[in-house]
Amino acid sequence: NRQFWGFMWRRNALNSLVRLSPWRRRLCAAAELVRLNKRIADAGVCSRREADRLISEGLVSVEGLAPGQVTAGLKVGKQTEIRVQNKPLPHAAAPVVLAYNKPKHELVTTRDAHGRRTIFESLAAMNAPRGLKAVGRLDCSSEGVILLSTSGALARRLELPETGVPRTYRVRVHGNLTEEKLRALRTGTVVEGYKYAGMDVVVERNNRKKISWLQLTCFEGKNRMIRKICKTLHLDVTRLIRTGFGPIQINNKLREGVAMKVDVAALERQLQQYEALAAKRRMRKRYLGKVVRTKDDGYAPRDRRRETGTRGDDGRRRQRGADSAGEVGEGSLDRSSRFVKL
């Protein structure tokens, strides 16, 4: 017993020394370091690209460093004193998430070369916080809910298909909506070498060869995914409205052209539930789309069964029907041969 407790005491003392060692403290401090342009962007001063411009023009100074040592890739800590245009850089605030009901013909981009209106111009008129990043995109002709966050990590987590955030759409299509097409929407459709996963489909209105309204729910947001799938099924999408993104749904408070602040703590709890459900869907192999190869790409499916014969004295495999020393005559059947599953 004395030897055992002595060993435990020495092990605990060694672990304490490792935890308090200088190199361990340096590693822990290095884990909190971020790039200088990201630190400026997280503070809400400007975007990373604009921060790079300010750094290159010498308008950013860092405590204890000469002007020539300040670069965009410089790693700084949270407590490092930084000045931008002779003004102290504020500490990064808590992340903010906004839900915006995007009207039709607004672009999800910071600026447009053709002078078309963007969602950030509309948000700036509402005194929205700076440094917002869009969670995914919506086409110019699409409308509905889009989320924006000041935290790039949170925005990335929201848009990743692996997180499993459901996206709900109301779609108006023109064309003959048959049961076969509905089955293809529910089971999955191959478009340009990519098989999109099946969606939850609710038919709100079906006039067969005229106008139909569908409610589609999916867990991934590929570029123009719904429009491409409907075009493959010979259905013309004339209106597309995203009615929900996760727990955020269009309601009386979130009318067209209105932005609403989202509770980040409640959203984080909901994301954990979505990720748990996504893990279960991955176990059932019913989760996301995948890249497939077709005959148009020069791909021919391999035959899964191969006919083989017996082995001779030399160890070589003989084909069925081959004449070898009278064992298997021409046209005869070798009963020992069988199909081997590869």
Q: What is the pLDDT of residue 12?
A: 63
139 included as an active-site residue: yes
Question: Quick one: tokens of 341?
Answer: 């599953």
Residue 203 lies in a domain: yes
Q: Check whether residue 127 and residue 159 sit in a common domain.
A: yes
For residue 10, is it within any domain? no
Structure-token pair, residue 9 = 């005491």
Q: Measured in Å, how far apart are the chain's first and last C-alpha atoms?
A: 59
- Both 69 and 178 in a single domain? no
Residues 76 and 36: beta-carbon distance below 8 Å = yes
**Same domain, yes or no, for 102 and 214?**
no
Assess contact for 116 and 107: CB atoms under 8 A: yes
The answer to whether the beta carbons of residues 131 and 47 sit under 8 Å apart is yes
Tokens of residue 257, six digits: 């052209």
User: CA 334, CA 321: separation in Å to the nearest integer?
Assistant: 7
Would 260 be classed as within a structural domain? yes
Q: Where are the alpha helices (DSSP H) in the chain?
A: 2-20, 22-31, 36-42, 48-56, 119-125, 152-159, 179-187, 225-232, 264-283
Note whether 61 and 191 are same-domain residues: no
pLDDT, position 266: 93
CA 44 to chain centre: 24
Contact 287, 278 (CB under 8 A): yes
Confidence (pLDDT) at 78: 77
Domain boundary among 88, 108, 124: 88
What is the C-alpha to C-alpha distance for residues 98 and 268, in angstroms, rounded to an integer?
14
DSSP 8-state class, residue 255 = -
Give the pLDDT of residue 66.
Answer: 83
pLDDT at 197: 84
Beta strand spans in 79-225 (E): 82-84, 87-88, 97-102, 133-134, 143-149, 167-174, 188-191, 194-197, 200-206, 211-218
Please check whether residues 177 and 241 belong to one and the same domain.
Answer: yes
Find the catalytic residue in 52, 112, 139, 296: 139
Q: What is the DSSP letter of 118?
A: B
Residue 324 lies in a domain: no
Please give the Cα distance from 206 to 149 (Å, whole number).
Answer: 38
Closest CA to 340 of 297, 301, 311: 311
Does an H or E element contain 314, and which? none
Do 129 and 177 share a domain, yes or no? no
Q: Does residue 172 share a domain with residue 159?
A: no
Give how many domains the chain has, as a whole number.
3
pLDDT at residue number 300: 46
- Residue with structure tokens 């009615």? 243
**How high is the pLDDT of residue 14?**
56
Query: For the chain, give me the number of helices (H) and strands (E)?
Result: 9, 19
Which candidate, 168, 329, 142, places its Cα nearest to that of 237?
A: 142
User: With contact defined as beta carbons under 8 Å apart, do 142 and 125 qualify?
Assistant: no
Cα 140 to the center of its chain, rounded Å: 21
Confidence (pLDDT) at 335: 37
Co-location of 36 and 184 in the same domain: no
User: Which residues are bridge partners to 173 per DSSP?
Assistant: 212, 237
**Of 245, 276, 307, which marks where a domain is finished?**
245
Q: Which CATH number covers residue 209?
A: 3.30.70.1560
Q: What is the pLDDT along the chain (342 residues), one digit of tens a residue?
A: 566 666 666 666 555 554 444 544 454 444 578 888 888 887 777 778 888 898 888 888 888 888 888 888 888 887 788 888 888 888 777 889 999 999 998 999 888 888 899 999 999 999 888 788 899 889 999 999 999 998 888 988 998 888 889 999 999 999 888 899 999 999 888 888 888 888 999 998 887 668 899 999 998 888 889 999 999 999 999 999 999 999 999 988 888 989 999 999 999 999 999 988 888 877 665 556 666 554 454 444 444 444 445 555 555 555 544 444 444 343 333 333 333 332
Q: What's the maximum distance between 2 C-alpha atoms anywhere in the chain?
A: 98
| pLDDT (0 to 100) of residue 73 | 81
Cβ(65)–Cβ(36) below 8 Å? no
Which domain CATH number covers 146? Answer: 3.30.70.580
Q: Structural domain of residue 206, as residue ranges?
A: 167-245
- pTM here is 0.68
Q: CA of 39: how far to CAs of 106, 157, 227, 340, in Å?
A: 30, 19, 38, 61
Give a yes or no: residue 14 inside a domain: no
Q: Which of 31, 55, 88 is the last residue of a domain?
A: 88
Q: Are 45 and 153 found together in one domain?
A: no
